Amino acid sequence: MKKIIIQLFFVALIISGCQSEKTIQSSQYPHYEIELAVDPQKEYIAVKGTLTLNSIPENADSLGFYIDKGVDLKQFTLNKKQTAIIDTASSDNRFLPNARKLYFKFPKDFDRSAPLAIQFAYEGKLSEIPKQAANRIGEKWTELGLYIPWFPFNYEELGSFTYSINVTANQKYTVFGIGNITHENDVTNLSSAIPTNDIVVCLSEDIQVFETEMGNNRLKIFHKNFPDTLLNKMSGEVTQMFNRFNSWFGAIDMDISIIETQRIQGGGYARIGGLVLSGINPAKFDKQIVYYHQFFAHELAHLWWHKASATTWHDWLNESFAEYSSLMSLKETFGQDTFDLYIAHKKKELEGTPPIWELDRNNVEYEIAYQVLYNKGPLLLYELESKIGNNKFCLLCNSMIRNETNTTEDFLKLLAQEVNPETASWFEEMLRTR
Protein backbone atom coordinates (compact mmCIF):
# COMPACT_ATOMS: atom_id res chain seq x y z
CA MET A 1 0.00 0.00 0.00
CA LYS A 2 2.87 2.35 0.82
CA LYS A 3 4.19 2.07 -2.74
CA ILE A 4 0.81 3.07 -4.16
CA ILE A 5 0.54 6.06 -1.82
CA ILE A 6 4.05 7.26 -2.63
CA GLN A 7 3.19 7.09 -6.34
CA LEU A 8 0.53 9.67 -5.61
CA PHE A 9 3.21 11.95 -4.25
CA PHE A 10 5.32 11.49 -7.39
CA VAL A 11 2.52 13.22 -9.26
CA ALA A 12 2.33 15.99 -6.68
CA LEU A 13 -0.69 18.14 -7.19
CA ILE A 14 -0.01 21.45 -8.83
CA ILE A 15 -3.27 22.96 -7.71
CA SER A 16 -3.27 26.65 -7.13
CA GLY A 17 -5.27 29.65 -6.06
CA CYS A 18 -8.66 29.84 -7.64
CA GLN A 19 -12.25 30.04 -6.59
CA SER A 20 -14.57 27.19 -7.43
CA GLU A 21 -18.11 28.53 -7.44
CA LYS A 22 -20.16 28.20 -10.62
CA THR A 23 -21.24 31.82 -10.24
CA ILE A 24 -17.73 33.19 -10.46
CA GLN A 25 -17.02 35.88 -13.03
CA SER A 26 -14.42 34.14 -15.17
CA SER A 27 -13.61 37.03 -17.55
CA GLN A 28 -10.91 38.23 -15.16
CA TYR A 29 -8.95 35.01 -15.66
CA PRO A 30 -6.65 33.97 -18.53
CA HIS A 31 -8.60 32.05 -21.16
CA TYR A 32 -7.51 29.43 -23.71
CA GLU A 33 -9.24 28.80 -27.05
CA ILE A 34 -7.58 25.75 -28.61
CA GLU A 35 -7.98 23.40 -31.58
CA LEU A 36 -6.39 20.04 -30.72
CA ALA A 37 -5.95 17.09 -33.09
CA VAL A 38 -4.72 13.83 -31.54
CA ASP A 39 -3.36 10.67 -33.20
CA PRO A 40 -2.79 8.24 -30.30
CA GLN A 41 -1.26 5.54 -32.51
CA LYS A 42 1.48 7.88 -33.73
CA GLU A 43 1.69 9.69 -30.35
CA TYR A 44 1.18 12.85 -32.38
CA ILE A 45 -0.64 16.09 -31.60
CA ALA A 46 -1.37 19.28 -33.54
CA VAL A 47 -2.26 22.37 -31.52
CA LYS A 48 -3.40 25.83 -32.59
CA GLY A 49 -4.89 28.42 -30.30
CA THR A 50 -4.95 31.70 -28.46
CA LEU A 51 -4.42 32.59 -24.82
CA THR A 52 -5.91 35.92 -23.74
CA LEU A 53 -4.92 37.78 -20.58
CA ASN A 54 -6.50 40.94 -19.24
CA SER A 55 -3.16 42.20 -17.91
CA ILE A 56 0.15 41.17 -16.39
CA PRO A 57 1.72 42.30 -13.09
CA GLU A 58 3.09 45.86 -13.10
CA ASN A 59 6.60 44.73 -12.20
CA ALA A 60 6.75 41.81 -14.68
CA ASP A 61 9.69 42.01 -17.07
CA SER A 62 8.95 38.68 -18.76
CA LEU A 63 6.29 36.02 -19.20
CA GLY A 64 7.23 32.37 -19.71
CA PHE A 65 5.51 29.13 -20.74
CA TYR A 66 6.31 25.44 -20.87
CA ILE A 67 5.48 23.15 -23.79
CA ASP A 68 6.63 19.63 -24.58
CA LYS A 69 10.07 19.60 -26.19
CA GLY A 70 9.03 17.01 -28.79
CA VAL A 71 6.74 19.26 -30.83
CA ASP A 72 7.73 21.40 -33.80
CA LEU A 73 6.98 25.04 -33.06
CA LYS A 74 5.15 26.90 -35.85
CA GLN A 75 4.05 30.05 -34.04
CA PHE A 76 4.39 31.59 -30.60
CA THR A 77 3.69 35.31 -30.72
CA LEU A 78 2.47 38.11 -28.50
CA ASN A 79 -0.27 40.26 -30.04
CA LYS A 80 0.79 38.82 -33.43
CA LYS A 81 3.98 40.89 -33.26
CA GLN A 82 6.62 39.78 -30.78
CA THR A 83 7.99 36.25 -31.19
CA ALA A 84 8.84 34.24 -28.09
CA ILE A 85 12.44 33.50 -27.10
CA ILE A 86 13.23 29.78 -26.79
CA ASP A 87 15.23 28.75 -23.74
CA THR A 88 17.64 26.01 -24.84
CA ALA A 89 18.53 24.94 -21.29
CA SER A 90 17.07 21.84 -19.64
CA SER A 91 13.74 22.22 -17.91
CA ASP A 92 13.93 24.12 -14.62
CA ASN A 93 10.69 22.53 -13.39
CA ARG A 94 11.06 19.18 -11.61
CA PHE A 95 7.46 18.24 -12.43
CA LEU A 96 7.96 18.90 -16.15
CA PRO A 97 11.25 17.20 -17.07
CA ASN A 98 10.43 16.99 -20.81
CA ALA A 99 9.38 20.61 -21.20
CA ARG A 100 11.07 23.46 -22.97
CA LYS A 101 10.50 27.05 -21.92
CA LEU A 102 9.51 29.95 -24.14
CA TYR A 103 9.25 33.50 -22.88
CA PHE A 104 8.56 37.08 -23.87
CA LYS A 105 10.66 40.01 -22.59
CA PHE A 106 8.87 43.29 -21.90
CA PRO A 107 10.50 46.70 -22.37
CA LYS A 108 10.08 49.29 -19.61
CA ASP A 109 7.45 51.22 -21.57
CA PHE A 110 5.30 48.13 -22.24
CA ASP A 111 1.66 48.67 -21.24
CA ARG A 112 1.16 45.90 -18.68
CA SER A 113 -2.43 46.93 -17.92
CA ALA A 114 -3.70 46.30 -21.46
CA PRO A 115 -5.19 42.97 -22.60
CA LEU A 116 -2.76 40.56 -24.25
CA ALA A 117 -3.26 37.79 -26.80
CA ILE A 118 -0.71 35.00 -27.28
CA GLN A 119 -1.02 33.03 -30.51
CA PHE A 120 0.51 29.57 -30.68
CA ALA A 121 0.71 26.66 -33.11
CA TYR A 122 2.83 23.51 -33.02
CA GLU A 123 2.65 19.83 -33.88
CA GLY A 124 4.68 16.66 -33.61
CA LYS A 125 5.30 13.47 -31.69
CA LEU A 126 5.40 14.01 -27.95
CA SER A 127 8.71 13.32 -26.23
CA GLU A 128 9.34 10.09 -24.35
CA ILE A 129 7.23 10.10 -21.21
CA PRO A 130 8.75 8.91 -17.90
CA LYS A 131 7.16 5.70 -16.64
CA GLN A 132 6.16 7.31 -13.35
CA ALA A 133 4.43 10.25 -15.04
CA ALA A 134 0.67 10.66 -14.71
CA ASN A 135 0.12 11.50 -18.39
CA ARG A 136 0.24 9.18 -21.40
CA ILE A 137 -0.40 9.03 -25.14
CA GLY A 138 -0.90 5.71 -26.90
CA GLU A 139 -3.25 3.54 -28.89
CA LYS A 140 -4.97 1.99 -25.84
CA TRP A 141 -5.04 4.98 -23.51
CA THR A 142 -4.33 8.71 -23.86
CA GLU A 143 -4.32 11.10 -20.91
CA LEU A 144 -2.99 14.54 -21.74
CA GLY A 145 -2.34 17.16 -19.09
CA LEU A 146 0.22 19.51 -17.64
CA TYR A 147 2.80 16.81 -16.78
CA ILE A 148 3.54 16.57 -20.51
CA PRO A 149 2.56 20.16 -21.24
CA TRP A 150 0.60 19.85 -24.47
CA PHE A 151 -0.74 23.40 -24.01
CA PRO A 152 1.39 26.46 -23.09
CA PHE A 153 1.51 26.23 -19.32
CA ASN A 154 3.01 28.11 -16.41
CA TYR A 155 1.15 27.84 -13.14
CA GLU A 156 3.46 30.15 -11.21
CA GLU A 157 2.94 33.07 -13.61
CA LEU A 158 -0.60 32.47 -14.90
CA GLY A 159 -2.39 31.03 -11.90
CA SER A 160 -5.88 29.77 -12.70
CA PHE A 161 -7.53 29.96 -16.11
CA THR A 162 -10.61 29.01 -18.10
CA TYR A 163 -10.66 27.18 -21.42
CA SER A 164 -12.57 25.89 -24.43
CA ILE A 165 -10.93 23.08 -26.42
CA ASN A 166 -12.15 21.53 -29.67
CA VAL A 167 -10.69 18.03 -30.01
CA THR A 168 -10.62 15.85 -33.14
CA ALA A 169 -9.41 12.26 -33.35
CA ASN A 170 -10.18 8.99 -35.10
CA GLN A 171 -13.88 8.17 -34.61
CA LYS A 172 -13.04 4.90 -32.85
CA TYR A 173 -11.96 6.93 -29.83
CA THR A 174 -14.20 8.51 -27.22
CA VAL A 175 -12.86 11.89 -26.13
CA PHE A 176 -13.54 13.01 -22.56
CA GLY A 177 -11.93 14.77 -19.62
CA ILE A 178 -12.59 17.04 -16.66
CA GLY A 179 -15.04 19.88 -17.32
CA ASN A 180 -18.08 20.32 -19.54
CA ILE A 181 -18.23 17.94 -22.52
CA THR A 182 -20.27 18.39 -25.70
CA HIS A 183 -20.13 16.57 -29.04
CA GLU A 184 -20.97 17.94 -32.48
CA ASN A 185 -20.27 15.93 -35.62
CA ASP A 186 -16.67 14.71 -35.26
CA VAL A 187 -15.61 17.37 -32.76
CA THR A 188 -15.64 17.10 -28.96
CA ASN A 189 -15.60 20.33 -26.99
CA LEU A 190 -14.12 20.35 -23.49
CA SER A 191 -14.59 23.56 -21.54
CA SER A 192 -14.47 25.06 -18.09
CA ALA A 193 -15.91 28.43 -17.11
CA ILE A 194 -14.75 27.69 -13.57
CA PRO A 195 -11.10 28.78 -13.17
CA THR A 196 -8.89 25.72 -13.01
CA ASN A 197 -5.24 24.70 -13.25
CA ASP A 198 -5.02 21.98 -15.91
CA ILE A 199 -6.63 20.80 -19.15
CA VAL A 200 -7.10 17.04 -18.92
CA VAL A 201 -7.97 15.36 -22.22
CA CYS A 202 -8.47 11.57 -22.40
CA LEU A 203 -9.07 9.22 -25.33
CA SER A 204 -10.08 5.58 -25.18
CA GLU A 205 -11.74 2.99 -27.40
CA ASP A 206 -13.36 1.37 -24.39
CA ILE A 207 -14.97 3.73 -21.89
CA GLN A 208 -18.32 3.87 -20.11
CA VAL A 209 -19.96 6.74 -18.22
CA PHE A 210 -21.95 6.50 -15.01
CA GLU A 211 -23.83 9.67 -14.04
CA THR A 212 -25.85 10.52 -10.94
CA GLU A 213 -27.05 13.46 -8.88
CA MET A 214 -24.93 14.70 -5.98
CA GLY A 215 -27.21 17.14 -4.18
CA ASN A 216 -27.54 20.11 -6.51
CA ASN A 217 -24.60 18.90 -8.56
CA ARG A 218 -23.79 16.04 -10.94
CA LEU A 219 -21.24 13.28 -10.51
CA LYS A 220 -19.80 11.48 -13.55
CA ILE A 221 -17.60 8.39 -13.36
CA PHE A 222 -15.69 7.43 -16.53
CA HIS A 223 -14.66 3.78 -16.29
CA LYS A 224 -13.82 0.71 -18.34
CA ASN A 225 -15.80 -2.11 -16.75
CA PHE A 226 -16.88 -1.28 -13.20
CA PRO A 227 -19.94 -3.29 -12.09
CA ASP A 228 -23.06 -1.37 -11.05
CA THR A 229 -22.58 -2.37 -7.42
CA LEU A 230 -19.14 -0.72 -7.35
CA LEU A 231 -20.36 2.41 -9.13
CA ASN A 232 -23.16 2.83 -6.60
CA LYS A 233 -20.75 2.34 -3.70
CA MET A 234 -18.21 4.78 -5.16
CA SER A 235 -20.81 7.44 -5.85
CA GLY A 236 -22.22 7.00 -2.34
CA GLU A 237 -18.78 7.35 -0.76
CA VAL A 238 -17.88 10.43 -2.82
CA THR A 239 -21.24 12.11 -2.20
CA GLN A 240 -20.90 11.53 1.54
CA MET A 241 -17.38 13.02 1.56
CA PHE A 242 -18.42 15.95 -0.62
CA ASN A 243 -21.29 16.83 1.72
CA ARG A 244 -19.07 16.35 4.77
CA PHE A 245 -16.32 18.66 3.48
CA ASN A 246 -18.93 21.20 2.42
CA SER A 247 -20.21 21.34 5.99
CA TRP A 248 -16.72 21.53 7.53
CA PHE A 249 -14.86 23.81 5.16
CA GLY A 250 -17.54 25.78 3.32
CA ALA A 251 -19.83 24.83 0.47
CA ILE A 252 -18.64 24.74 -3.13
CA ASP A 253 -21.03 24.47 -6.06
CA MET A 254 -19.39 22.22 -8.61
CA ASP A 255 -20.06 19.18 -10.77
CA ILE A 256 -17.46 16.44 -10.26
CA SER A 257 -15.92 14.04 -12.79
CA ILE A 258 -14.02 10.92 -11.74
CA ILE A 259 -11.84 9.22 -14.33
CA GLU A 260 -10.54 5.69 -13.88
CA THR A 261 -7.18 5.91 -15.59
CA GLN A 262 -6.17 2.84 -17.59
CA ARG A 263 -2.44 3.31 -17.08
CA ILE A 264 -0.66 1.23 -14.44
CA GLN A 265 1.93 3.69 -13.11
CA GLY A 266 1.69 7.35 -12.21
CA GLY A 267 -0.85 7.34 -9.41
CA GLY A 268 -3.88 9.58 -9.07
CA TYR A 269 -4.41 13.31 -8.81
CA ALA A 270 -7.08 15.94 -8.30
CA ARG A 271 -7.98 18.91 -10.42
CA ILE A 272 -10.60 21.60 -9.94
CA GLY A 273 -13.78 19.76 -10.93
CA GLY A 274 -12.52 16.22 -10.91
CA LEU A 275 -10.34 13.34 -9.80
CA VAL A 276 -8.20 10.91 -11.79
CA LEU A 277 -7.86 7.64 -9.90
CA SER A 278 -5.70 4.58 -10.50
CA GLY A 279 -5.37 1.08 -9.13
CA ILE A 280 -9.05 0.51 -8.32
CA ASN A 281 -9.68 -3.23 -8.08
CA PRO A 282 -13.43 -4.00 -8.06
CA ALA A 283 -12.82 -7.46 -6.57
CA LYS A 284 -11.00 -5.98 -3.56
CA PHE A 285 -13.03 -2.80 -3.08
CA ASP A 286 -15.11 -4.07 -0.15
CA LYS A 287 -12.13 -5.67 1.62
CA GLN A 288 -10.06 -2.50 1.21
CA ILE A 289 -12.87 -0.01 1.76
CA VAL A 290 -10.97 1.88 4.47
CA TYR A 291 -7.98 2.38 2.16
CA TYR A 292 -10.18 3.46 -0.76
CA HIS A 293 -12.16 5.83 1.46
CA GLN A 294 -8.98 7.54 2.61
CA PHE A 295 -7.62 7.61 -0.96
CA PHE A 296 -10.79 9.19 -2.38
CA ALA A 297 -11.13 11.59 0.55
CA HIS A 298 -7.58 12.92 0.19
CA GLU A 299 -8.00 13.66 -3.50
CA LEU A 300 -11.49 15.11 -3.03
CA ALA A 301 -10.26 17.34 -0.20
CA HIS A 302 -7.93 19.03 -2.66
CA LEU A 303 -10.99 20.76 -4.11
CA TRP A 304 -10.72 22.85 -0.94
CA TRP A 305 -6.99 22.62 -0.20
CA HIS A 306 -5.15 23.89 -3.26
CA LYS A 307 -4.30 27.55 -2.73
CA ALA A 308 -0.61 27.29 -1.80
CA SER A 309 2.21 26.88 -4.29
CA ALA A 310 3.06 23.21 -4.79
CA THR A 311 6.67 24.02 -5.66
CA THR A 312 7.54 25.60 -2.27
CA TRP A 313 7.47 24.46 1.33
CA HIS A 314 4.06 26.12 1.73
CA ASP A 315 2.68 23.06 -0.10
CA TRP A 316 2.04 21.59 3.34
CA LEU A 317 -1.05 23.82 3.37
CA ASN A 318 -2.30 21.73 0.43
CA GLU A 319 -1.05 18.23 1.17
CA SER A 320 -1.09 18.07 4.97
CA PHE A 321 -4.54 19.63 5.21
CA ALA A 322 -5.91 17.33 2.49
CA GLU A 323 -4.41 14.31 4.23
CA TYR A 324 -5.73 15.29 7.64
CA SER A 325 -9.15 16.01 6.10
CA SER A 326 -9.17 12.44 4.82
CA LEU A 327 -8.38 11.16 8.32
CA MET A 328 -11.21 13.25 9.77
CA SER A 329 -13.54 11.65 7.22
CA LEU A 330 -12.22 8.20 8.15
CA LYS A 331 -13.05 8.87 11.80
CA GLU A 332 -16.58 9.95 10.92
CA THR A 333 -17.23 6.82 8.85
CA PHE A 334 -15.20 4.07 10.54
CA GLY A 335 -14.75 5.34 14.09
CA GLN A 336 -12.03 6.44 16.51
CA ASP A 337 -10.16 3.11 16.49
CA THR A 338 -9.51 3.28 12.72
CA PHE A 339 -8.43 6.91 13.03
CA ASP A 340 -6.03 6.02 15.87
CA LEU A 341 -4.46 3.24 13.78
CA TYR A 342 -3.66 5.70 10.98
CA ILE A 343 -2.25 8.23 13.45
CA ALA A 344 -0.05 5.56 15.05
CA HIS A 345 1.23 4.45 11.63
CA LYS A 346 2.16 8.01 10.70
CA LYS A 347 4.08 8.48 13.96
CA LYS A 348 6.27 5.48 13.09
CA GLU A 349 7.32 7.04 9.77
CA LEU A 350 8.84 10.26 11.13
CA GLU A 351 12.29 9.26 12.39
CA GLY A 352 15.04 11.37 10.86
CA THR A 353 12.73 13.68 8.89
CA PRO A 354 13.34 17.45 8.80
CA PRO A 355 10.87 20.08 10.05
CA ILE A 356 8.20 21.45 7.74
CA TRP A 357 9.51 25.00 8.04
CA GLU A 358 11.29 26.01 4.82
CA LEU A 359 11.54 22.41 3.62
CA ASP A 360 13.64 22.51 0.45
CA ARG A 361 11.33 20.79 -2.04
CA ASN A 362 13.88 20.95 -4.85
CA ASN A 363 16.76 19.28 -3.02
CA VAL A 364 15.12 16.75 -0.74
CA GLU A 365 14.38 13.17 -1.74
CA TYR A 366 10.81 12.42 -2.78
CA GLU A 367 10.21 9.94 0.03
CA ILE A 368 11.48 12.32 2.71
CA ALA A 369 9.27 15.12 1.39
CA TYR A 370 6.39 12.65 1.28
CA GLN A 371 6.91 11.70 4.93
CA VAL A 372 6.99 15.35 5.96
CA LEU A 373 3.93 16.48 4.00
CA TYR A 374 1.74 13.38 4.33
CA ASN A 375 2.71 12.24 7.84
CA LYS A 376 4.35 14.98 9.89
CA GLY A 377 2.01 17.76 8.73
CA PRO A 378 -1.19 15.82 9.49
CA LEU A 379 0.18 14.85 12.92
CA LEU A 380 0.79 18.51 13.77
CA LEU A 381 -2.75 19.32 12.64
CA TYR A 382 -3.99 16.47 14.85
CA GLU A 383 -2.23 18.10 17.81
CA LEU A 384 -3.74 21.46 16.86
CA GLU A 385 -7.25 20.04 16.67
CA SER A 386 -6.74 18.25 20.01
CA LYS A 387 -5.63 21.53 21.59
CA ILE A 388 -8.37 23.84 20.28
CA GLY A 389 -11.22 21.36 19.74
CA ASN A 390 -12.95 20.12 16.60
CA ASN A 391 -15.40 23.02 16.35
CA LYS A 392 -12.70 25.70 16.41
CA PHE A 393 -10.53 23.66 14.07
CA CYS A 394 -13.31 23.45 11.46
CA LEU A 395 -14.03 27.17 11.86
CA LEU A 396 -10.32 27.85 11.30
CA CYS A 397 -10.35 25.70 8.15
CA ASN A 398 -13.46 27.47 6.94
CA SER A 399 -11.77 30.85 7.44
CA MET A 400 -8.69 29.64 5.55
CA ILE A 401 -10.83 28.74 2.55
CA ARG A 402 -12.74 32.03 2.64
CA ASN A 403 -9.52 34.04 2.95
CA GLU A 404 -7.72 31.96 0.29
CA THR A 405 -4.83 31.39 2.69
CA ASN A 406 -1.81 30.34 0.66
CA THR A 407 1.28 30.99 2.83
CA THR A 408 2.30 29.78 6.26
CA GLU A 409 2.68 33.38 7.46
CA ASP A 410 -0.95 34.11 6.57
CA PHE A 411 -2.05 30.85 8.20
CA LEU A 412 -0.30 31.75 11.47
CA LYS A 413 -1.82 35.24 11.43
CA LEU A 414 -5.26 33.71 10.93
CA LEU A 415 -4.63 31.17 13.71
CA ALA A 416 -3.71 34.01 16.09
CA GLN A 417 -6.84 35.89 15.08
CA GLU A 418 -9.27 32.96 15.17
CA VAL A 419 -7.88 31.25 18.30
CA ASN A 420 -5.19 33.25 20.11
CA PRO A 421 -1.59 34.46 19.61
CA GLU A 422 -0.21 31.90 22.10
CA THR A 423 -1.56 29.00 20.05
CA ALA A 424 -0.13 30.51 16.87
CA SER A 425 3.31 30.82 18.51
CA TRP A 426 3.11 27.25 19.80
CA PHE A 427 2.21 25.90 16.37
CA GLU A 428 4.92 27.96 14.65
CA GLU A 429 7.48 26.46 17.02
CA MET A 430 6.34 22.95 16.04
CA LEU A 431 6.60 23.81 12.32
CA ARG A 432 10.15 25.07 12.90
CA THR A 433 11.50 22.35 15.20
CA ARG A 434 9.51 19.11 15.06
pLDDT of residue 279: 85
Interval 86-90 mean pLDDT: 89
pTM of the full predicted structure?
0.85
Architecture of the domain whose range is 26-204: Sandwich (2.60)
CA 213 to chain centre: 23
Q: Between residues 103 and 59, which one has the greater pLDDT? A: 103
Domain with CATH 1.10.390.10 in the chain: 2-12+212-433
Name the pLDDT band for 21 (thresholds 50, 70, 90).
very low
Q: Between residues 184 and 364, which one has the greater pLDDT? A: 184
Would you say residue 5 has pLDDT above 70? no
Name the pLDDT band for 27 (thresholds 50, 70, 90).
low
Would you say residue 288 has pLDDT above 70? yes
Q: Top-level CATH class of 2-12+212-433?
A: mainly alpha
Would you say residue 103 has pLDDT above 80? yes
Interval 102-120 mean pLDDT: 92
Helix (H) or strand (E) holding 274: strand 274-277
Interval 302-323 mean pLDDT: 92
Tell me if residue 36 falls in helix, strand or coil: strand
Domain with CATH 2.60.40.1730 in the chain: 26-204
pLDDT of residue 60: 87
Interval 76-91 mean pLDDT: 92
The mean pLDDT value of the chain amounts to: 90
CA distance 179 to 218: 11
Would you say residue 14 has pLDDT above 60? no
